[in-house]
Amino acid sequence: GKDSVPDGGSDADVSLRTCCLKSGPISKASGSAYVEFGNTKVIASVFGPHAKRFGRANSDFTLGSGSLNCEVRFAPFARSDDSGDTERDAEGVGMTPEEHWLTENLVQSLAASIQLHRFPKSVLDVNVYILEDDGSAQAVATTCASLALVDSGVELYDIVAGCNVADCDGRLVVDPNKQQLDTADGYVSMALMPNHSKLTQFEVNGSFSVSRLGEVSSLGYNGCSTVARIMRDEAISAGRKHWA
């Protein structure tokens, strides 16, 4: 069913899209997760910690002694209009500008949640594959990657939940789909460590008045909190009692 976000007000669509979260779908990974919100579907895997290797991509983010390496990719069939592959190199190997941006965004969203000092001189790899993108893929990727980290058992300060809020012709929409985002006046993408009440990502796209931005931010914060509750429920059912 659908989960609703509190304090939306009369001009807001506060229902998250129908969602499914599953821990551990990839048995050979240290941790993994599958998450879908509406028709946006993402799978993430975690490998490591393992010994550092030289020559890693610039997605490598170092805090203290441990490192986090992320990679976000779109499946070739992720979008009905095939827009995700228009700027990939001729061999289809290189990352598109959007994949680079999503990768950098994911590193920023996750880094503060991981106790990287626990594995000095080692690296943790987080790979995210966007199977289908019907909007808010950035937020769903963050949620999925964090749930995979929980599944891996790596020591975390907190989980990270992502949520977008769009202003669609004066109506605020939580967890918007692609059509809503394409026609929105603007949207905000957020990532939250709920137990610490700390935002690890806050990105504004479009123009908002100060008061309207406050409304959008409040709704996004509550949206992240609702997503976090769903994540905790899945983590607990998968045996990660620490997140009760």
Amino acid identity, position 225: S
Q: Is the pLDDT of residue 87 over 80?
A: no
**pLDDT at residue 78 in the model:** 83
To the nearest 10°, the Cα dihedral for 226, 228, 233, 235? 170
In this predicted structure, the answer to whether residue 91 has a pLDDT above a threshold of 50 is no
Which of 98-107, 172-181, 186-195, 233-242 has the weakest average pLDDT?
Answer: 233-242
3 falls in which pLDDT band (50, 70, 90)? Answer: low
Average pLDDT over residues 111-140: 94
pLDDT at 192: 98
The average pLDDT across 31-55 equals 90
Contact between 29 and 45 under an 8 Å Cβ cutoff? The reply is yes
**What integer pLDDT is reported at residue 61 of this predicted model?**
53
User: How much is the average pLDDT of 1-27?
Assistant: 75
The fraction of the chain above a pLDDT of 90, given in percent, is: 69
- Bridge-based pairing state of the strands 122-132 and 171-174: unpaired
The predicted-structure confidence for 176-205, as pLDDT tens digits, reads as follows: 999 999 999 999 999 999 999 999 999 999
Using the predicted structure, report yes or no on whether residue 33 has a pLDDT greater than 90: yes
Residue 128 pairs in a beta bridge with 44, 72
The pTM assigned to this predicted structure is 0.88
Q: What is the reported pLDDT for 239? A: 81
pLDDT band at 66 (very low <50, low <70, confident <90, very high): confident
Helix ranges restricted to H, 35-171? 97-111, 137-152
